[in-house]
Structure 1
Amino acid sequence: MNQRNDDDAARLTPELWRIHLGELDEKMGVKILEESVERVVATMPVAGNRQSFGLLHGGAMVALGEAVGSWAAVIHASTMGKVAVGMDISATHHKSSTDGMVKATATPISLGRTVTCHEVIIEHENGIRLCTVRITNFIKDRK
């Protein structure tokens, strides 16, 4: 995500906040479909994100999960004029894929004033769950 100056950040609301993809997100082919405090949804192609055995790379799924979970936390933090930074992430890989598109959906488990926790479900376009990510972010004042 691109850095914004403090004056812009203080005025952000979920309706005005817009996610800006980072370099890794762009290389992975991530596309944002929805962005709000309640849900962040993004897609990513399997092609270009496979490991040496031809399967969707587990690290690519974790990177996608971290991206949408962090964006969700940043959107929540922006409603208080604050920022979010990652504290912890875990992922359970259920299945993999060799082709198609995956969709990641981040929803809040807990939205606090200092800590957020999100669940990110990564599904294949055919509806099969591939990975479940849980991410915790710390909400802090801007410096």
Structure 2
Amino acid sequence: MSAPSPMDAAESKPSAHELWKITLGELDEKMGVKIIEESVQRVVATMPVEGNRQSFGLLHGGASLAVGEAVGSWAAVIHASTLGKTAVGVDVSATHHRSAREGQITITATPIHLGGTLTTHEVLITNEAGQRLCTLRITNLLMRRHK
């Protein structure tokens, strides 16, 4: 087992800054998003398929991107808050693997990289059977928080 790198030590230091708490936006509320878990290491939310379908009765790909970007950005802002900063999205990409017609999806964001300037998160969207519907990767720029 190797010793932790200086970067690992810096990322694990306790912070004097208060963790940001997720607040749903208007679109999140309209889509029926519910927060299940929120921390620097993992943000989990759920969303119903009903009300978020396209004209062929399938979960709308745009709904998957919207909720995935929201959850990934929330994860970035939670990390940024430990540094007294905020985060803004600079890149998001997604691959749709399968769709859903009903039920509830789970959206889980986990960090790939938690830096002082950039964060990158993987966001998995799964159905109730645990099957992967969509994989997103989102990168956020950390910025000074304006009051």
CA distance in 2, matches of 1:27, 1:11: 31
Aligned to 2:7: none
Aligned equivalent of 2:134, options 112, 131, 135 = 131
Asked if 1:12 corresponds to 2:18, the answer is: yes
Deviations 1:35-72 (A, max 9, x none): 00000000000000000000000000001100110000
The TM-score with structure 2 as length reference comes to 0.87
1:12 Cα deviation after fit: 1.5
Aligned to 1:31: 34
Number of residues paired by the alignment? 131
Unaligned runs of 5+ in 2: 1-15
Unaligned runs of 5+ in 1: 1-9
**Amino acid in structure 2 at the alignment position of 1:104:** I
Aligned to 2:59: 56
CA distance in 1, matches of 2:21, 2:121: 19
Moved over 2 A (4+): none
1:11 Cα deviation after fit: 4.0
Aligned to 1:65: 68
Aligned equivalent of 1:47, options 50, 72, 97 = 50
The TM-score with structure 1 as length reference comes to 0.89
